[in-house]
Structure formats: structure tokens, C-alpha cells
Structure 1
Amino acid sequence: MNADRIYESVHDRYTAAARGVDQGYGRSVAKSFGYAEEELAGVPKDANLGLGAIASLQEGETVVDLGSGAGFDAFLAAGKVGPTGTVYGVDMNEDMVARANKSRAETPHRDNVSFVRSRITDVPLRSGVADCVISNCVVNLVPAGEKQLAFDEMARLLKPGGRLAISDVLLKQPLPDSLRSCAALYTGCIAGAGRVADYEEYLRAAGFHDVLITDTNADLNVYLETDVDGTAKAASGQGTGSRCCGPVAAKDGTAASCPAGQGTGSCAGKNADGDSEDGGCGGCGGGRHGNLNKWAGSYKIFAVKA
């Protein structure tokens, strides 16, 4: 897919997510990826619990959250940096930014958090503004040809010695072409993922050192196995979660990125082995390619600006 189509697909996907309120689904995913119950309880109810990454933040620091969605991590970060700190959430989707701004009224940290609409490759904040940049499940959504720009922008935003702490989906092995070209899997955090070696190269080229990339061993299949109410999906797998890696339902009940007239939920029916007959593009599940953990993993990425 070309860059324009990627940005359009991502925009449409997260517009649908912003307009849905799938708190059970988001809470199950967030807990699976390591958020404590008390952290979830302290976030405004409409903050997007499907998008998250946390760093060791200190009072008085300035934090930039790239791809902030409806503000989940930004609100958590605001609590950690306190009234003398500042948090900027950055997201390219106008509906997500509107939802985040609405949620500000429900948090005691409303005075030290704000939200900016922008792509993460060209953020309208001054250079050297941040002590720490955080982000989650966002860089993989940036077109391959612009990923270096994203890391360059992170470096620009950070002060000398500033910290980068992001979480992202990275590949364990090359994806088949059928998965790489699937819009549903791109907006679902998988098809646009890079390799660990790619990210190490991007970071060093941007001027970072002390690069550490670790596999969290989180189960990516939680996105497939959890329905919108937070419970396990039915055996048919026909859920319509509207968060990262959960297929968004269109008005007619088909998955949002499915070709016209192809199935429900995962774009296709099943063959005799129970796999999708869609040539591999089965919603976020990868159709006949199955288990997401075979292809990719959730990684924590840390680095320091020189």
C-alpha cells in the first residue's frame, strides 16, 4: 500500500474506534499488557484503554505521548509528573483528539495535559521540549518510508539526555505478501511492523544510544480472543472490537477493511480445516496464517538521546 492509503486506512480505523465505547474490550487488553487495576481505575472512563505505554516518569518532567488516542497514557503520565509537570498528547485523528479533550474534564490533572492534532512525523512543538517521549502501537502504523522521520522527530522533541520509552509490535519473521498488503492487518498493528534490527538502525541514525529492545511476551491473540464487552469471543470468532488489532465492524456487519461482499468479521468463510478462505487477510487474525504470536510480538523499546 502507498503512504496515502495507509494514512487513510489508519485515520478511518481510529475514527471508528474513537466513536465506539468498548470499555470491557479495552480493559481486558490493557490488563493483558500489564496495566494494574488501580491504574485502569484512575483513568477517565472514555480514555482509549486499547492504546498504552508507560515509562518511569518523575515529578516536574515534560512528556510527549505520540499517538495518544483518547488520552489513556497521557492521563496516567500527567498523574506521575504532577502539577509542576506537563504532558502533550499528539494524535492525527480529530475524533480521538476531541474525545481526549472531552475526557480532560474528568481528571484532576486537566491543567497539565493538553492534546495536539498532528502526524507524529512533524509535530508542532518546539525542539528540546521533552524529558521523555512515550508511544504505543503507533510507529508500526507509519508507512515504512517515513519511519525514520518518526524517530528523527522523537529525537528533535527530546532534550539532550532525554529518554525514549515506547511499546510497539515488531516482526519475528517476514510476513507473506498476502499479510503485508492487508489493510485490516496494517491498521491492526501487524502488517506495518518492522524488525528489531530495523528499529535499532532507525534509533541510532536519529542519534540515540543505549538502545534496549525487549520482548514482553504478551499474547497478541488477546485482540482476537476478547469481544467488545471484555468477555471471551464466541467460538465463531465473530467479534467487532474497535481497538488496536480488533476488527472494526462496518454498518453491514462486515469487517471495515474487507473487500465488498466477503464474509463477516474476518472477510471470509472457513475451509475444512477451520481456517479463513481469504488468501490470508482475515481481519486482524491473519486468516489461514493463524496465530499472531507466530509472526510478531509486543516489544518495549528504550533509548537515550545523545
Structure 2
Amino acid sequence: MSSASEIYSAVKAHYSATCSNRTSTGTYESSVAKAFGYTAEELASIPQDANLGLSCGNPLALAGLREGETVIDLGSGAGLDCFLAAQNVGPTGKVIGVDMNDDMLAKADSNNKKHHLGHNNVRFIKSPITQIKALEDDSVDCIISNCVVNLVPDEDKHQVFREMHRLLRPGGRVAISDTLIKQGMTLPAHLKSDMALLVGCIAGASPVGDYETFLRDAGFVDVIIVDNHYDLNVYNSSTADIEDRGVGRSCCGTSEALVQSSRSCCGVLLGGQDSKNADLNAYAGSYSIYAVKAA
């Protein structure tokens, strides 16, 4: 079992490489995003480089953002959901992207300069999502996140939800997408210990029940956790395959072809043959998670 520091280091290294090595034209990433519920119009309205194909869902579909609201995106990456959220909250609203990775923050800032809305309502800050010292208590209306909390070591995950509760105003809400282990299932030890699967959003996934416990223990009410039934197995890396099947490819794509072309979503590099042959859908799913801070 890897230590928390080893996990954080591996996650940073992997996503720096994902960010720095990107040479795609964006066609594959666009197809992945559309399969997870983003529209062509939404994707056309933001810088192409903001979409790195790292999603496992669409938290904005849950968030119900309104004009003038303040939103935080935990693990904001290159800015995909931040820029879309900014359009929803308008010039009187604010969007704050939080990420611990310098390379992702640099790309997000670069994309922000290209994102011309006619107003400046997006900013990015460097911080772990377990403790965001730069942000005040009761200061935001909604917190979104997309396939990120699973990357936090198990011993720190509960702190992410406590931090969400601290930051939200009374009546504020959490709307996140993440991979979780299905009810009644256990990830086999050889998959749980696979570091490539961990940085690829599978090995660090918590059981569904744990997220409900984390949310309720942090003080949230009206907790809703729904399996989106997206396909976590990548059989074919082609854009056509994704569009024909109409199925969201996992942020945890396991296809070697994806890895070789640097086009996998979370870019999973599988170690042993058992991992390569594993049916990830048997154990895990892409979930939508919603909860409210009591007023």
C-alpha cells in the first residue's frame, strides 16, 4: 500500500505529464466530453486546450448554477468546468479553480487569457483541496469537482468533504462527478495496489457508502448519489467508437493504444496482465454526487 505522500507525488507527476505532453488536435477529447453530457456548443465556447479529456461526468448538469453565484471547482485542471460555470454565473458571479499542480495552473491561466467573456470572473489558485487556506468560511454558493476526489489518499478524503462544508454558505450545495466502488463490491487487492490505476481514477475510488458517510459526517443533508452507468472499459480508442456507442469513456481509460497516443482520459498505464484484463465496470462506476449544507 502506497503512503499518502507517494500518492500525492504520483498524482502530481502524472497530471503534469498529461498536461505537458498533450499534442492532440482535440477531436478525441471533444468526443469524450460529449459522451459525458457536454454539448458541442458548450465546448465551442471555451478554449480547446481547456478540455484535456479528464472528465468522468458533467457536474454542471447537477449544479443548477445561477446568475451572481460564487463557485469553486476542486481540482480544476485546465479550466474546462470553470469556464463553463463562468458563463452560467455571469459578470456578477465568481468562479475559483483550485488545483495543486503548477503545470495545470499555468495551462488554466493561459486558457483564461483566451477566454473572452467580456468580463473577468474566473481565477485559479494553488492549494490542496483538503485545506484551502486562501478561501474564507461560508464564502461560496456551490462546489463542483470532476473525477478528482478519488485521487486523494483514503486517510485524507473525509477532510475534503469537511472543507467543502466549511467553504459553503448555509444552503449551498455540492455537485460533483467521481468514480466510486459499487455497493457490495470490493476492488481486488492487485487492482487496488496498482499505482497506474490509482492515478487513473480507479484504485483510489471509495465505496459508495463511504461518500455518503463523509458527507453526512461533515454536516451535509439531502445527499443524493447516482450511478450514471458510463462504461469504464475502453475497448477502442477511436473517436468513432465513442460516438457510435454513445457511451462515456472513463476518465480511467485502460487501452494501451490510448496510452501510446497520449490520448487516454486519465491516462491509465496498466501494469500486470490481470489489470489489463479486468472488467472495471464490475467493480466501479461513474457517479453524480449532490448534497446541501443545511441553512
* Equivalence for 1:39: 42
3-state SS in 2 of match to 1:214: strand
* Equivalence for 2:78: 70
Mark the runs of 5 or more structure 2 residues left unpaired by the alignment: 243-254
Quick check: 1:48–1:70 contact (8 Å CA) kept in 2?
A: yes
Q: Which runs of at least 4 in structure 1 moved beyond 6 Å after TM superposition?
A: none
Matched, 1:217 2:220: no
* Equivalence for 1:113: 122
Deviation at 1:244, TM superposition (A): 3.9
Quick check: 2:142–2:168 contact (8 Å CA) kept in 1?
A: yes
The one-letter amino acid paired with 1:39 is E
- Distance in 1, matches of 2:75 and 2:266, equals 15
Between Structure 1 and Structure 2, the one with more helix by share is: 2
- Distance in 2, matches of 1:209 and 1:21, equals 43
Equivalence map 1:232-243=2 (5 Å): 232=241, 237-240=256-259, 241-243=262-264
* Equivalence for 2:14: 13
* Equivalence for 2:285: 297
With the length of structure 1 as denominator, give the TM-score of the two structures: 0.83
The one-letter amino acid paired with 1:78 is A
The one-letter amino acid paired with 1:287 is K
Q: How many residues align?
A: 268
RMSD: 1.8
What do the CA deviations read for 1:222-263 (whole angstroms, capped 9, x no partner)?
4x5325xx4559xx842223554323xxxxxxx4xxxxxxxx
Matched, 1:170 2:170: no
Quick check: 1:24–1:231 contact (8 Å CA) kept in 2?
A: no
Larger Rg: 1
3-state SS in 2 of match to 1:111: coil
Mark the runs of 5 or more structure 1 residues left unpaired by the alignment: 248-254, 256-265, 268-277, 281-285
Deviation at 1:199, TM superposition (A): 0.4
Equivalence map 1:1-306=2 (5 Å): 1-19=2-20, 20-22=22-24, 23-52=26-55, 53-54=59-60, 55-109=63-117, 111-123=120-132, 124-172=134-182, 173-222=185-234, 225-226=236-237, 230=239, 232=241, 237-240=256-259, 241-247=262-268, 255=269, 266-267=270-271, 278=272, 280=274, 286-289=275-278, 291-306=279-294
Quick check: 1:43–1:72 contact (8 Å CA) kept in 2?
A: yes
- Distance in 1, matches of 2:265 and 2:98, equals 17
With the length of structure 2 as denominator, give the TM-score of the two structures: 0.86
Quick check: 1:180–1:192 contact (8 Å CA) kept in 2?
A: yes
Quick check: 1:135–1:165 contact (8 Å CA) kept in 2?
A: yes
The one-letter amino acid paired with 1:132 is C
- Distance in 2, matches of 1:242 and 1:89, equals 24
